[in-house]
Chains A and B, each alone.
Chain A
Protein backbone atom coordinates (compact mmCIF):
# COMPACT_ATOMS: atom_id res chain seq x y z
CA UNK A 1 0.00 0.00 0.00
CA UNK A 2 2.68 2.40 1.12
CA UNK A 3 5.00 1.53 -1.75
CA UNK A 4 2.27 1.99 -4.32
CA UNK A 5 1.46 5.41 -2.84
CA UNK A 6 5.11 6.26 -3.00
CA UNK A 7 5.28 5.09 -6.58
CA UNK A 8 2.39 7.30 -7.61
CA UNK A 9 4.02 10.21 -5.78
CA UNK A 10 7.26 9.67 -7.66
CA UNK A 11 5.43 9.37 -10.96
CA UNK A 12 3.61 12.66 -10.32
CA UNK A 13 6.92 14.30 -9.47
CA UNK A 14 8.37 12.96 -12.74
CA UNK A 15 5.34 14.08 -14.64
CA UNK A 16 5.51 17.56 -13.16
CA UNK A 17 9.22 17.84 -13.93
CA UNK A 18 8.48 16.84 -17.52
CA UNK A 19 5.76 19.45 -17.81
CA UNK A 20 8.13 21.94 -16.16
CA UNK A 21 10.67 21.16 -18.87
CA UNK A 22 8.01 21.48 -21.55
CA UNK A 23 7.18 24.97 -20.36
CA UNK A 24 10.80 25.93 -19.91
CA UNK A 25 11.36 27.41 -23.37
CA UNK A 26 10.39 30.91 -22.27
CA UNK A 27 12.60 30.65 -19.20
CA UNK A 28 15.54 29.70 -21.41
CA UNK A 29 14.57 32.54 -23.69
CA UNK A 30 14.51 34.91 -20.74
CA UNK A 31 18.01 33.80 -19.74
CA UNK A 32 19.30 34.46 -23.24
CA UNK A 33 17.49 37.80 -23.35
CA UNK A 34 19.05 38.83 -20.03
CA UNK A 35 22.49 37.88 -21.36
CA UNK A 36 21.76 39.98 -24.43
CA UNK A 37 20.76 42.93 -22.20
CA UNK A 38 23.94 42.69 -20.14
CA UNK A 39 26.05 42.38 -23.29
CA UNK A 40 24.10 45.12 -25.01
CA UNK A 41 24.36 47.52 -22.10
CA UNK A 42 28.14 47.51 -22.42
CA UNK A 43 28.82 46.79 -26.09
CA UNK A 44 25.79 47.65 -28.24
CA UNK A 45 24.63 50.92 -26.70
CA UNK A 46 27.16 53.69 -26.85
CA UNK A 47 27.73 56.45 -24.34
CA UNK A 48 24.89 58.95 -24.07
CA UNK A 49 25.16 62.65 -24.84
CA UNK A 50 24.92 64.97 -21.86
CA UNK A 51 26.29 62.65 -19.22
CA UNK A 52 29.94 63.73 -19.39
CA UNK A 53 33.10 61.62 -19.71
CA UNK A 54 31.95 59.63 -22.72
CA UNK A 55 28.45 59.19 -21.32
CA UNK A 56 29.15 55.75 -19.86
CA UNK A 57 27.13 56.54 -16.75
CA UNK A 58 23.92 56.45 -18.75
CA UNK A 59 24.30 52.69 -19.21
CA UNK A 60 22.73 52.12 -15.81
CA UNK A 61 19.38 53.01 -17.40
CA UNK A 62 19.05 49.40 -18.65
CA UNK A 63 18.90 48.06 -15.11
CA UNK A 64 17.59 51.03 -13.14
CA UNK A 65 14.52 51.97 -15.17
CA UNK A 66 12.99 48.46 -15.47
CA UNK A 67 13.48 47.88 -11.72
CA UNK A 68 11.89 51.23 -10.90
CA UNK A 69 8.88 50.54 -13.15
CA UNK A 70 8.45 47.04 -11.72
CA UNK A 71 8.72 48.46 -8.19
CA UNK A 72 5.52 50.43 -8.74
CA UNK A 73 3.77 47.75 -10.84
CA UNK A 74 4.27 45.21 -8.05
CA UNK A 75 2.55 47.49 -5.57
CA UNK A 76 -0.57 47.70 -7.70
CA UNK A 77 -0.55 43.94 -8.27
CA UNK A 78 -0.31 43.47 -4.50
CA UNK A 79 -3.13 45.94 -3.85
CA UNK A 80 -5.28 44.27 -6.52
CA UNK A 81 -5.01 40.90 -4.78
CA UNK A 82 -5.48 42.53 -1.35
CA UNK A 83 -8.76 44.14 -2.48
CA UNK A 84 -9.80 40.88 -4.11
CA UNK A 85 -9.14 39.09 -0.83
CA UNK A 86 -11.20 41.55 1.21
CA UNK A 87 -14.20 42.13 -1.04
CA UNK A 88 -14.67 38.82 -2.83
CA UNK A 89 -16.18 35.83 -1.07
CA UNK A 90 -13.96 32.79 -1.67
CA UNK A 91 -13.39 29.36 -0.22
CA UNK A 92 -10.76 29.41 2.58
CA UNK A 93 -8.20 27.71 0.37
CA UNK A 94 -8.70 30.15 -2.51
CA UNK A 95 -8.65 33.10 -0.11
CA UNK A 96 -5.33 31.94 1.38
CA UNK A 97 -3.95 31.65 -2.14
CA UNK A 98 -5.08 35.18 -3.00
CA UNK A 99 -3.40 36.44 0.16
CA UNK A 100 -0.21 34.58 -0.78
CA UNK A 101 -0.30 36.18 -4.25
CA UNK A 102 -0.63 39.63 -2.67
CA UNK A 103 2.26 38.96 -0.29
CA UNK A 104 4.45 37.60 -3.09
CA UNK A 105 3.85 40.71 -5.20
CA UNK A 106 4.80 42.89 -2.24
CA UNK A 107 7.98 40.89 -1.60
CA UNK A 108 9.01 41.18 -5.25
CA UNK A 109 8.15 44.88 -5.09
CA UNK A 110 10.43 45.33 -2.11
CA UNK A 111 13.23 43.59 -4.00
CA UNK A 112 12.83 45.68 -7.18
CA UNK A 113 12.40 48.86 -5.14
CA UNK A 114 15.66 48.15 -3.30
CA UNK A 115 17.40 47.51 -6.64
CA UNK A 116 16.02 50.74 -8.11
CA UNK A 117 17.10 52.71 -5.04
CA UNK A 118 20.62 51.29 -5.05
CA UNK A 119 21.17 51.69 -8.80
CA UNK A 120 19.69 55.19 -8.63
CA UNK A 121 21.93 56.11 -5.75
CA UNK A 122 25.02 54.82 -7.59
CA UNK A 123 24.05 56.91 -10.62
CA UNK A 124 23.50 59.96 -8.40
CA UNK A 125 26.90 59.40 -6.80
CA UNK A 126 28.85 59.30 -10.05
CA UNK A 127 26.76 61.85 -11.95
CA UNK A 128 25.80 64.46 -9.35
CA UNK A 129 28.67 63.94 -6.92
CA UNK A 130 26.61 62.80 -3.96
CA UNK A 131 24.87 59.50 -3.36
CA UNK A 132 21.85 61.21 -1.82
CA UNK A 133 20.50 64.62 -2.88
CA UNK A 134 16.86 64.73 -1.71
CA UNK A 135 15.75 64.83 -5.30
CA UNK A 136 11.96 64.27 -5.59
CA UNK A 137 12.49 60.95 -7.33
CA UNK A 138 14.85 59.84 -4.58
CA UNK A 139 12.33 60.86 -1.89
CA UNK A 140 9.48 59.02 -3.63
CA UNK A 141 11.39 55.80 -4.07
CA UNK A 142 12.65 55.72 -0.50
CA UNK A 143 9.11 56.33 0.83
CA UNK A 144 7.88 53.52 -1.43
CA UNK A 145 10.62 51.29 -0.02
CA UNK A 146 9.50 52.11 3.53
CA UNK A 147 5.85 51.35 2.72
CA UNK A 148 6.86 47.94 1.37
CA UNK A 149 9.03 47.38 4.44
CA UNK A 150 6.28 48.20 6.92
CA UNK A 151 3.88 45.88 5.06
CA UNK A 152 6.42 43.08 5.46
CA UNK A 153 6.98 44.02 9.12
CA UNK A 154 3.24 43.68 9.75
CA UNK A 155 3.19 40.25 8.12
CA UNK A 156 6.21 39.14 10.13
CA UNK A 157 4.56 40.30 13.38
CA UNK A 158 1.52 38.12 12.64
CA UNK A 159 3.42 35.06 11.44
CA UNK A 160 1.57 32.59 13.67
CA UNK A 161 -1.99 33.61 12.71
CA UNK A 162 -2.43 33.31 8.94
CA UNK A 163 -6.08 34.41 8.72
CA UNK A 164 -5.67 37.52 10.79
CA UNK A 165 -2.40 38.22 9.00
CA UNK A 166 -4.12 38.05 5.62
CA UNK A 167 -6.88 40.42 6.67
CA UNK A 168 -4.75 43.02 8.44
CA UNK A 169 -2.06 42.98 5.74
CA UNK A 170 -4.71 43.53 3.06
CA UNK A 171 -6.18 46.45 5.01
CA UNK A 172 -2.73 47.96 5.48
CA UNK A 173 -1.94 47.60 1.78
CA UNK A 174 -5.13 49.48 0.88
CA UNK A 175 -4.54 52.24 3.43
CA UNK A 176 -0.97 52.67 2.22
CA UNK A 177 -2.50 53.35 -1.19
CA UNK A 178 -3.28 56.88 0.07
CA UNK A 179 0.35 57.96 0.53
CA UNK A 180 1.34 55.92 -2.54
CA UNK A 181 -1.00 57.86 -4.82
CA UNK A 182 0.38 61.15 -3.45
CA UNK A 183 3.80 59.91 -4.55
CA UNK A 184 2.48 59.70 -8.10
CA UNK A 185 0.37 62.85 -8.31
CA UNK A 186 1.54 65.33 -5.68
CA UNK A 187 5.20 64.89 -4.81
CA UNK A 188 6.59 65.60 -8.31
CA UNK A 189 4.62 68.86 -8.22
CA UNK A 190 5.70 69.85 -4.69
CA UNK A 191 9.34 70.06 -5.62
CA UNK A 192 9.64 71.88 -8.89
CA UNK A 193 13.31 71.27 -9.57
CA UNK A 194 14.58 67.78 -10.28
CA UNK A 195 17.95 66.72 -11.58
CA UNK A 196 16.60 63.29 -12.56
CA UNK A 197 16.75 62.63 -16.31
CA UNK A 198 13.37 63.09 -17.95
CA UNK A 199 11.13 60.26 -19.05
CA UNK A 200 13.17 59.54 -22.15
CA UNK A 201 11.00 56.52 -22.89
CA UNK A 202 8.18 58.65 -24.21
CA UNK A 203 10.25 60.92 -26.40
CA UNK A 204 10.79 59.55 -29.87
CA UNK A 205 13.96 61.52 -30.56
CA UNK A 206 15.66 60.97 -27.21
CA UNK A 207 16.86 57.43 -27.83
CA UNK A 208 18.93 56.03 -30.64
CA UNK A 209 17.95 52.71 -32.19
CA UNK A 210 20.63 50.81 -30.22
CA UNK A 211 19.37 52.24 -26.95
CA UNK A 212 15.78 51.37 -27.78
CA UNK A 213 16.75 47.84 -28.74
CA UNK A 214 18.56 47.14 -25.47
CA UNK A 215 16.15 49.06 -23.26
CA UNK A 216 13.01 47.40 -24.58
CA UNK A 217 14.70 44.01 -24.32
CA UNK A 218 15.58 44.90 -20.73
CA UNK A 219 11.95 45.67 -20.00
CA UNK A 220 10.85 42.37 -21.46
CA UNK A 221 13.58 40.44 -19.65
CA UNK A 222 12.84 42.03 -16.27
CA UNK A 223 9.10 41.48 -16.63
CA UNK A 224 9.63 37.81 -17.54
CA UNK A 225 12.01 37.49 -14.60
CA UNK A 226 9.35 38.96 -12.34
CA UNK A 227 6.70 36.54 -13.62
CA UNK A 228 9.03 33.59 -13.26
CA UNK A 229 10.03 34.54 -9.72
CA UNK A 230 6.41 35.02 -8.72
CA UNK A 231 5.55 31.59 -10.15
CA UNK A 232 8.36 29.98 -8.21
CA UNK A 233 7.33 31.69 -4.98
CA UNK A 234 3.72 30.69 -5.51
CA UNK A 235 4.67 27.07 -6.20
CA UNK A 236 6.79 27.05 -3.05
CA UNK A 237 3.82 28.43 -1.13
CA UNK A 238 1.50 25.74 -2.52
CA UNK A 239 3.90 22.94 -1.61
CA UNK A 240 4.26 24.34 1.91
CA UNK A 241 0.51 24.77 2.31
CA UNK A 242 -0.11 21.25 1.00
CA UNK A 243 2.34 19.75 3.48
CA UNK A 244 0.78 21.66 6.37
CA UNK A 245 -2.67 20.53 5.25
CA UNK A 246 -1.57 16.88 5.25
CA UNK A 247 -0.05 17.20 8.70
CA UNK A 248 -3.17 18.89 10.06
Chain B
Protein backbone atom coordinates (compact mmCIF):
# COMPACT_ATOMS: atom_id res chain seq x y z
CA UNK B 1 0.00 0.00 0.00
CA UNK B 2 2.80 2.39 0.93
CA UNK B 3 4.57 1.55 -2.31
CA UNK B 4 1.41 2.33 -4.25
CA UNK B 5 1.26 5.73 -2.56
CA UNK B 6 4.92 6.40 -3.39
CA UNK B 7 4.43 5.42 -7.01
CA UNK B 8 1.32 7.52 -7.38
CA UNK B 9 2.86 10.54 -5.68
CA UNK B 10 6.01 10.24 -7.77
CA UNK B 11 4.04 10.15 -11.00
CA UNK B 12 2.03 13.14 -9.85
CA UNK B 13 5.19 15.19 -9.49
CA UNK B 14 6.17 14.52 -13.09
CA UNK B 15 3.03 15.97 -14.54
CA UNK B 16 2.39 19.10 -16.47
CA UNK B 17 -0.55 21.26 -15.41
CA UNK B 18 -1.02 23.90 -12.78
CA UNK B 19 -3.57 23.50 -9.97
CA UNK B 20 -3.89 27.24 -9.44
CA UNK B 21 -4.66 27.78 -13.12
CA UNK B 22 -7.14 24.91 -13.08
CA UNK B 23 -8.94 26.47 -10.11
CA UNK B 24 -9.26 29.87 -11.74
CA UNK B 25 -10.22 28.55 -15.15
CA UNK B 26 -9.42 30.22 -18.44
CA UNK B 27 -8.41 33.56 -16.92
CA UNK B 28 -5.02 35.06 -16.08
CA UNK B 29 -4.10 34.51 -12.43
CA UNK B 30 -3.28 37.60 -10.34
CA UNK B 31 0.19 37.25 -8.79
CA UNK B 32 -0.77 37.92 -5.19
CA UNK B 33 -3.71 35.51 -5.38
CA UNK B 34 -1.41 32.80 -6.76
CA UNK B 35 1.06 33.41 -3.95
CA UNK B 36 -1.63 33.22 -1.28
CA UNK B 37 -2.94 29.95 -2.66
CA UNK B 38 0.52 28.46 -2.97
CA UNK B 39 1.33 29.40 0.60
CA UNK B 40 -1.98 28.06 1.88
CA UNK B 41 -1.59 24.65 0.26
CA UNK B 42 2.24 24.40 0.58
CA UNK B 43 2.54 24.00 -3.18
CA UNK B 44 6.12 25.30 -3.30
CA UNK B 45 7.63 23.30 -0.45
CA UNK B 46 10.49 20.92 -1.28
CA UNK B 47 9.52 17.49 -2.60
CA UNK B 48 10.40 15.45 0.47
CA UNK B 49 8.58 17.70 2.89
CA UNK B 50 5.45 17.54 0.75
CA UNK B 51 5.76 13.77 0.54
CA UNK B 52 6.06 13.55 4.31
CA UNK B 53 3.11 15.85 4.71
CA UNK B 54 1.12 13.69 2.30
CA UNK B 55 1.80 10.52 4.27
CA UNK B 56 0.95 12.28 7.52
CA UNK B 57 -2.34 13.44 6.03
CA UNK B 58 -3.12 9.96 4.70
CA UNK B 59 -2.61 8.53 8.17
CA UNK B 60 -5.32 10.91 9.35
CA UNK B 61 -7.60 9.78 6.53
CA UNK B 62 -7.04 13.03 4.66
CA UNK B 63 -6.77 12.28 0.94
CA UNK B 64 -6.17 15.87 -0.03
CA UNK B 65 -8.34 18.71 -1.18
CA UNK B 66 -10.11 19.12 -4.48
CA UNK B 67 -9.15 22.52 -5.82
CA UNK B 68 -11.86 22.20 -8.41
CA UNK B 69 -14.81 21.36 -6.18
CA UNK B 70 -13.49 23.14 -3.09
CA UNK B 71 -14.14 20.06 -0.98
CA UNK B 72 -11.98 17.41 0.71
CA UNK B 73 -11.32 14.44 -1.59
CA UNK B 74 -12.23 11.79 0.97
CA UNK B 75 -15.69 13.32 1.41
CA UNK B 76 -16.26 13.29 -2.34
CA UNK B 77 -15.28 9.65 -2.62
CA UNK B 78 -17.24 8.49 0.43
CA UNK B 79 -20.32 10.27 -0.82
CA UNK B 80 -20.16 8.32 -4.06
CA UNK B 81 -18.86 4.96 -2.86
CA UNK B 82 -22.28 3.64 -1.68
CA UNK B 83 -23.79 4.31 -5.11
CA UNK B 84 -20.98 2.43 -6.82
CA UNK B 85 -21.30 -0.33 -4.24
CA UNK B 86 -25.02 -0.59 -4.92
CA UNK B 87 -24.53 -0.81 -8.67
CA UNK B 88 -21.66 -3.31 -8.43
CA UNK B 89 -23.46 -5.46 -5.84
CA UNK B 90 -26.65 -5.72 -7.88
CA UNK B 91 -24.64 -6.47 -11.01
CA UNK B 92 -22.64 -9.20 -9.27
CA UNK B 93 -25.67 -10.71 -7.51
CA UNK B 94 -27.45 -10.97 -10.82
CA UNK B 95 -24.46 -11.90 -12.98
CA UNK B 96 -22.57 -14.52 -10.96
CA UNK B 97 -25.38 -17.09 -10.58
CA UNK B 98 -26.30 -16.74 -14.25
CA UNK B 99 -22.68 -17.10 -15.30
CA UNK B 100 -22.15 -20.14 -13.07
CA UNK B 101 -25.31 -21.80 -14.33
CA UNK B 102 -24.34 -21.23 -17.95
CA UNK B 103 -20.79 -22.45 -17.34
CA UNK B 104 -21.90 -25.66 -15.61
CA UNK B 105 -24.65 -26.33 -18.14
CA UNK B 106 -22.32 -25.91 -21.05
CA UNK B 107 -19.52 -28.01 -19.56
CA UNK B 108 -21.65 -30.90 -18.36
CA UNK B 109 -24.10 -30.94 -21.21
CA UNK B 110 -24.34 -34.29 -23.03
CA UNK B 111 -25.51 -32.45 -26.10
CA UNK B 112 -22.57 -31.04 -28.07
CA UNK B 113 -24.81 -28.54 -29.87
CA UNK B 114 -25.89 -27.02 -26.58
CA UNK B 115 -22.29 -26.69 -25.46
CA UNK B 116 -21.34 -25.13 -28.77
CA UNK B 117 -24.28 -22.73 -28.57
CA UNK B 118 -23.28 -21.50 -25.12
CA UNK B 119 -19.57 -21.35 -25.97
CA UNK B 120 -20.31 -19.24 -29.04
CA UNK B 121 -22.70 -17.02 -27.10
CA UNK B 122 -20.17 -16.34 -24.37
CA UNK B 123 -17.41 -15.80 -26.93
CA UNK B 124 -19.49 -13.14 -28.66
CA UNK B 125 -20.71 -11.61 -25.40
CA UNK B 126 -17.11 -11.55 -24.15
CA UNK B 127 -16.13 -9.39 -27.12
CA UNK B 128 -18.88 -6.82 -26.57
CA UNK B 129 -17.50 -3.78 -24.76
CA UNK B 130 -19.63 -3.13 -21.66
CA UNK B 131 -20.23 0.50 -22.49
CA UNK B 132 -21.45 -0.31 -26.00
CA UNK B 133 -23.83 -2.90 -24.58
CA UNK B 134 -25.05 -0.10 -22.30
CA UNK B 135 -25.67 2.16 -25.27
CA UNK B 136 -27.57 -0.58 -27.08
CA UNK B 137 -29.74 -1.26 -24.03
CA UNK B 138 -30.45 2.47 -23.69
CA UNK B 139 -31.44 2.71 -27.35
CA UNK B 140 -33.70 -0.35 -27.15
CA UNK B 141 -35.27 -0.21 -23.70
CA UNK B 142 -35.09 3.44 -22.79
CA UNK B 143 -35.46 5.22 -26.11
CA UNK B 144 -37.57 2.89 -28.26
CA UNK B 145 -39.65 1.12 -25.62
CA UNK B 146 -39.49 3.80 -22.93
CA UNK B 147 -39.47 1.24 -20.10
CA UNK B 148 -36.57 2.70 -18.18
CA UNK B 149 -35.02 6.13 -17.70
CA UNK B 150 -31.87 6.75 -19.72
CA UNK B 151 -29.53 8.28 -17.19
CA UNK B 152 -28.87 9.14 -13.57
CA UNK B 153 -29.96 7.35 -10.42
CA UNK B 154 -33.05 9.33 -9.38
CA UNK B 155 -35.48 11.89 -10.78
CA UNK B 156 -34.70 15.53 -10.08
CA UNK B 157 -37.86 15.94 -8.05
CA UNK B 158 -39.24 12.92 -6.31
CA UNK B 159 -42.47 12.75 -4.34
CA UNK B 160 -42.50 9.01 -3.94
CA UNK B 161 -41.99 7.46 -0.54
CA UNK B 162 -41.77 4.00 0.99
CA UNK B 163 -42.13 1.16 -1.51
CA UNK B 164 -42.85 3.58 -4.34
CA UNK B 165 -39.53 5.26 -3.70
CA UNK B 166 -37.81 1.90 -3.84
CA UNK B 167 -39.47 1.02 -7.15
CA UNK B 168 -38.51 4.37 -8.59
CA UNK B 169 -34.88 3.81 -7.70
CA UNK B 170 -35.00 0.26 -9.02
CA UNK B 171 -36.09 1.52 -12.43
CA UNK B 172 -33.01 3.73 -12.59
CA UNK B 173 -30.79 0.91 -11.39
CA UNK B 174 -32.16 -1.69 -13.80
CA UNK B 175 -30.28 -0.95 -17.03
CA UNK B 176 -26.83 -0.27 -15.56
CA UNK B 177 -27.17 -3.32 -13.31
CA UNK B 178 -28.21 -5.54 -16.24
CA UNK B 179 -25.27 -4.28 -18.30
CA UNK B 180 -22.97 -5.01 -15.40
CA UNK B 181 -24.52 -8.44 -14.86
CA UNK B 182 -24.13 -9.51 -18.49
CA UNK B 183 -20.54 -8.34 -18.44
CA UNK B 184 -19.69 -10.32 -15.30
CA UNK B 185 -21.79 -13.33 -16.28
CA UNK B 186 -19.81 -13.94 -19.48
CA UNK B 187 -16.56 -13.88 -17.54
CA UNK B 188 -17.86 -16.25 -14.89
CA UNK B 189 -19.36 -18.55 -17.51
CA UNK B 190 -16.07 -18.95 -19.41
CA UNK B 191 -14.12 -19.54 -16.23
CA UNK B 192 -16.69 -21.91 -14.80
CA UNK B 193 -16.84 -24.00 -17.97
CA UNK B 194 -13.06 -24.44 -18.00
CA UNK B 195 -13.02 -25.29 -14.28
CA UNK B 196 -15.82 -27.82 -14.49
CA UNK B 197 -14.18 -29.54 -17.45
CA UNK B 198 -10.96 -29.74 -15.47
CA UNK B 199 -12.71 -31.00 -12.34
CA UNK B 200 -14.54 -33.70 -14.33
CA UNK B 201 -11.16 -35.18 -15.20
CA UNK B 202 -10.07 -35.60 -11.60
CA UNK B 203 -9.69 -39.01 -10.03
CA UNK B 204 -12.30 -38.50 -7.34
CA UNK B 205 -14.98 -37.94 -9.97
CA UNK B 206 -14.15 -41.33 -11.46
CA UNK B 207 -14.32 -42.78 -7.95
CA UNK B 208 -17.69 -41.19 -7.35
CA UNK B 209 -18.93 -42.57 -10.65
CA UNK B 210 -17.59 -46.00 -9.76
CA UNK B 211 -19.44 -45.79 -6.43
CA UNK B 212 -22.60 -45.61 -8.50
CA UNK B 213 -23.53 -42.01 -7.78
CA UNK B 214 -25.76 -40.49 -10.41
CA UNK B 215 -24.52 -37.76 -12.71
CA UNK B 216 -26.58 -34.94 -11.17
CA UNK B 217 -25.45 -35.95 -7.69
CA UNK B 218 -21.81 -35.90 -8.71
CA UNK B 219 -22.18 -32.51 -10.30
CA UNK B 220 -24.01 -31.11 -7.31
CA UNK B 221 -21.88 -32.63 -4.57
CA UNK B 222 -18.39 -32.79 -6.07
CA UNK B 223 -18.04 -30.71 -9.18
CA UNK B 224 -19.81 -27.51 -8.17
CA UNK B 225 -17.93 -26.93 -4.99
CA UNK B 226 -14.50 -27.68 -6.40
CA UNK B 227 -15.01 -25.64 -9.53
CA UNK B 228 -16.26 -22.61 -7.65
CA UNK B 229 -13.02 -21.85 -5.85
CA UNK B 230 -11.24 -20.07 -8.72
CA UNK B 231 -14.43 -18.12 -9.38
CA UNK B 232 -14.30 -16.81 -5.82
CA UNK B 233 -10.77 -15.54 -6.38
CA UNK B 234 -11.52 -13.84 -9.66
CA UNK B 235 -14.78 -12.34 -8.48
CA UNK B 236 -13.18 -11.07 -5.29
CA UNK B 237 -10.59 -9.24 -7.31
CA UNK B 238 -13.24 -8.04 -9.75
CA UNK B 239 -15.33 -6.69 -6.89
CA UNK B 240 -12.39 -4.72 -5.57
CA UNK B 241 -11.84 -3.36 -9.06
CA UNK B 242 -15.54 -2.57 -9.26
CA UNK B 243 -15.13 -0.17 -6.36
CA UNK B 244 -13.31 2.04 -8.83
CA UNK B 245 -16.63 1.93 -10.52
CA UNK B 246 -17.07 0.37 -13.85
CA UNK B 247 -15.86 3.71 -15.16
CA UNK B 248 -17.30 3.13 -18.60
CA UNK B 249 -20.68 1.79 -17.52
CA UNK B 250 -21.13 4.64 -15.05
CA UNK B 251 -20.37 7.11 -17.85
CA UNK B 252 -22.92 5.59 -20.23
CA UNK B 253 -25.68 5.89 -17.65
CA UNK B 254 -24.38 9.02 -15.93
CA UNK B 255 -24.45 6.98 -12.73
CA UNK B 256 -22.91 9.36 -10.17
CA UNK B 257 -20.47 6.88 -8.66
CA UNK B 258 -16.73 6.77 -8.02
CA UNK B 259 -15.97 5.99 -11.67
CA UNK B 260 -17.77 9.05 -12.94
CA UNK B 261 -16.01 11.12 -10.28
CA UNK B 262 -12.70 9.91 -11.68
CA UNK B 263 -13.67 10.89 -15.22
CA UNK B 264 -14.93 14.30 -14.13
CA UNK B 265 -11.70 14.86 -12.22
CA UNK B 266 -9.57 13.85 -15.21
CA UNK B 267 -11.48 16.19 -17.50
CA UNK B 268 -11.11 19.03 -14.97
CA UNK B 269 -7.40 18.20 -14.40
CA UNK B 270 -8.22 17.84 -10.71
CA UNK B 271 -5.25 15.63 -9.88
CA UNK B 272 -5.84 15.37 -6.13
CA UNK B 273 -9.16 13.68 -6.79
CA UNK B 274 -7.63 11.41 -9.44
CA UNK B 275 -4.98 10.29 -6.98
CA UNK B 276 -7.58 9.90 -4.26
CA UNK B 277 -9.70 7.60 -6.40
CA UNK B 278 -6.66 5.56 -7.50
CA UNK B 279 -5.63 5.08 -3.87
CA UNK B 280 -9.19 4.25 -2.87
CA UNK B 281 -9.40 1.57 -5.57
CA UNK B 282 -6.06 -0.01 -4.68
CA UNK B 283 -7.16 -0.09 -1.06
CA UNK B 284 -10.43 -1.76 -2.08
CA UNK B 285 -8.59 -4.35 -4.18
CA UNK B 286 -6.16 -5.19 -1.38
CA UNK B 287 -9.03 -5.45 1.11
CA UNK B 288 -11.01 -7.73 -1.20
CA UNK B 289 -7.99 -9.97 -1.75
CA UNK B 290 -7.75 -10.34 2.01
CA UNK B 291 -11.43 -11.20 2.28
CA UNK B 292 -11.06 -13.75 -0.52
CA UNK B 293 -8.20 -15.41 1.35
CA UNK B 294 -10.39 -15.65 4.44
CA UNK B 295 -13.32 -16.99 2.40
CA UNK B 296 -11.03 -19.60 0.92
CA UNK B 297 -10.36 -21.01 4.38
CA UNK B 298 -14.08 -21.31 4.93
CA UNK B 299 -14.73 -22.96 1.56
CA UNK B 300 -11.73 -25.23 1.28
CA UNK B 301 -10.97 -27.39 4.31
CA UNK B 302 -7.55 -28.27 2.87
CA UNK B 303 -6.27 -24.76 3.53
CA UNK B 304 -7.38 -24.68 7.16
CA UNK B 305 -4.42 -25.05 9.45
CA UNK B 306 -4.19 -26.25 13.02
CA UNK B 307 -6.90 -28.55 14.31
- Chain B binds chain A: no
* A residues lining the B interface (CB < 8 Å): none
